[in-house]
Structure formats: C-alpha cells, structure tokens
Amino acid sequence: MLHTSGISLSFGGEYLFKNVSFRVGSNERIGLIGKNGAGKSTLLKIIAQEQPIDSGEISKDKNLKVGFLKQDIDFEKGRTVLEEAYQAFKFLKDIESKLEGINLQLAERDDYESESYNQLMVDLSTLQHQYEINGGYTYQGETERILKGLGFTEDDLNQPTDTFSGGWRMRIELAKLLLQQNDILLLDEPTNHLDIESIL
C-alpha cells in the first residue's frame, strides 16, 4: 500500500530522521512508540505528505486514501457537530449543491421542449445517479450512528462545535475520518481524550 525509501529530515543541521525505510501493508496495524520530541508526529505528517523531506521517496498505490487525525484540530466557527461531521462527504455535499441549483432553474422555466431544458434534465439524472451510488441517501444516518458511537447524544448533534472541549472536537474529527473510509488511518494519540467505550 505505502512504502518509504531512505527518507531523511533535518532541522537546524541536525537529523531528526536519516535514511528511514519502511512499508505499510494492507490490514496492518502499526504502533509508533517513542519519547516526547522523537519525531512521531513529524513522521505522520511526512506520511500524510504535509511535511516536506530533505531526501528519500514515498510511494503509494495510485488511488490510496490517507486520513490523518492530528493533535491540533481547527474547525470552521459556526458549524454544528452534524454539519462539521458532514464535511467528510464533500463530494456528496457538492452534488447536493448542484442538484439544488438545477432544481431551482427547472422550477423557473417553462421551455420544456428546448435543448437547454433537456440538458438540465440529463444533468439532473446523471447527478442523482452519482448521488445514489455514492451513498447520498444513507450518509446522514451513518454520520449520526458514528457520532453516537463516539459518545455524542441526540441533543449534542445540533450544538456548535466551539461549545465542546478539545477532546470532544477530536471525536468529531475522528468520526469524519471513519466516515471517509480511508485506506490508511494515521492517528496521532487518538485515545488521549476518549473513554473506554469510545475507544472500543
């Protein structure tokens, strides 16, 4: 799935990593253990391609999806827990927006025989099909199920994210990663703020 070859990274002339190579295979669970400052979080950022390296190479399968749960989480202010979790489905949300736009146009027009009206109908059908096969009619229920599994109550779901502590916001971010069905999950100390039920 993913392979690193001879990666090196230095800060201020001192190497944090030098010629590091490893492989992450399908269905593997790997724990990264080290003292504070050893570079665990930096290595995860490198794998997620959020941190450039001095030398070496990272290769992965073409369509590999990598999700990264960081320690520092920054949400857009004003979203509810549900709205933030729905950000895991950006593709579906984009389709919803396009469908809404087409339906508005169709409601305002009466040139039913025109070529442009016919094209709108074709676009509508195509988008509805994409929406359905990508889980457009099930993602909301799945989102609620995952959030409740991580300890959120029904009342919590419509509360703004900024009313929750860092630990609870981490749960929202974890829910998004689980919903995205990534091939590789990089979790930077994910259980720090979770109770045993949420960990399970």
Q: What is the pLDDT of residues 140-180, one digit of tens each?
A: 999 999 999 988 999 999 999 999 988 888 889 989 999 99
Counting the structural domains of the chain, the total is 2
**Whole-number Å distance between alpha carbons of 1 and 30:** 13
- 111 and 49, same structural domain? no
Check whether residue 59 and residue 86 sit in a common domain.
no
41 and 108 share a domain?
Answer: no
For every residue of 95-145, DSSP letters joined together read HHHHHHHHHHHHHH---TTSHHHHHHHHHHHHHHHHHHHTTTTTHHHHHHH
Measured distance CA(140)–CA(34) in Å, rounded: 39
**Structural domain containing residue 9:** 2-64
Same domain, 59 and 88: no
Is 90 a residue whose pLDDT tops 70? yes
Q: At what angle do helices 139-149 and 166-180 cross, to 10 degrees?
A: 140
22 plus 57 within the same structural domain: yes
User: Does 192 score more than 80 pLDDT?
Assistant: no
Domain check: are 93 and 176 in the same one?
A: yes
> Are residue 102 and residue 59 in the same domain, yes or no?
no
pTM for the predicted model, two decimal places: 0.75
35 and 88 part of one domain:
no
Check whether residue 165 and residue 109 sit in a common domain.
Answer: yes
